[in-house]
Amino acid sequence: MKKYKLTNESLIFEGRTLYRIKALRDIPSWGVKAGDLGGYVQHEYNLDQSGDCWIFDNAKAMDNSQVTGNSRMYGNSYMCENSRMYDYSLMRDNSSMRNNSSMRGNSSMCDNSRMCENSGMYGDSVMRDYSCMCENSSLIKNGMLQGETYLIKDLVVDGLITNFLFMNWECFLVKNKQGELVLKAGCKVLPLSKKAIREALIKHGIEDKETIKIGLDLVQSYIKLFNLNTK
């Protein structure tokens, strides 16, 4: 038996015609009853008919994107192109996912967070506020992005990052087990200092003085924001 059907209620979103869904059976896991209206899809492929996955409110899935497993969408969140949701992943508020991005495990996106290109979320990772991930497999593993944080190109994060910009620099700030902020470069964890970030940037091929200055200025702003001490 199918889980839902498309209704005649439709809307146009970014040039696509989307249809509101209606539950054909109960989904006890999320309190959905047969006859309840859900969010919007472009076609049935967008929401798997099996499992307990569901789209609520005015959330939208379109193109070749797909919601599967026990994943859920709420609010005005949307996903498009070839993006995927698996397992118990969650999108809500105004979060969005594009291109070949994917969510797995218990990962969640909320507020105005955005993910695009080949980005991925795993484990218990969280994106919130105005955080953004994009370009070529930027991954989060059991970590959190919050504030106005931007990850661009080939970055792997497994800690807390707040209000920062990382552009293809294989180094970033994380909180260690003691709750202290440290600079992580590759597999090394370094004390938070101007010297440490300068050396990390140079080691990873960023040698021009202007770019290094930008990196140092960003760190200094971060340090000042949180009243941290540097060496």
Identify the residue whose tokens are 């290094």. Answer: 212
pLDDT of 35:
98
Do 107 and 121 touch, CB atoms closer than 8 A?
Answer: yes
Q: How many residues does the chain have?
A: 231
200 pLDDT more than 90: no
Show which of 114, 134, 168 is a domain's final residue: 168
- CA separation for the pair 14, 159 (Å, rounded): 35
Q: What is the pLDDT of residues 101-136, one digit of tens each?
A: 999 999 999 999 999 888 888 888 889 888 888 766
Q: What is the pLDDT of residues 54-99, one digit of tens each?
A: 999 999 999 999 999 999 999 999 999 999 999 999 999 999 999 9
229 pLDDT more than 50: no
> 129 and 183 in one domain?
no
pLDDT of 230:
41
pLDDT of 75:
98
> 223 and 149 in one domain?
no
> 131 and 30 in one domain?
yes
> 69 and 38 in one domain?
yes
Do 87 and 67 touch, CB atoms closer than 8 A?
Answer: no
The pTM is what? 0.74
Show which of 168, 200, 217 is a domain's final residue: 168
Show the domain range for 143. Answer: 4-168
> 151 and 179 in one domain?
no
Task: Pick the more confident residue, 214 or 144.
Answer: 144
Q: Which long-range contacts (CB under 8 A, 24 or more apart) does 149-158 make?
A: 151/119
Q: Which DSSP helix (H) or strand (E) runs through 214?
A: helix 209-225
| Neighbour tally for 83: CB within 10 Å | 26
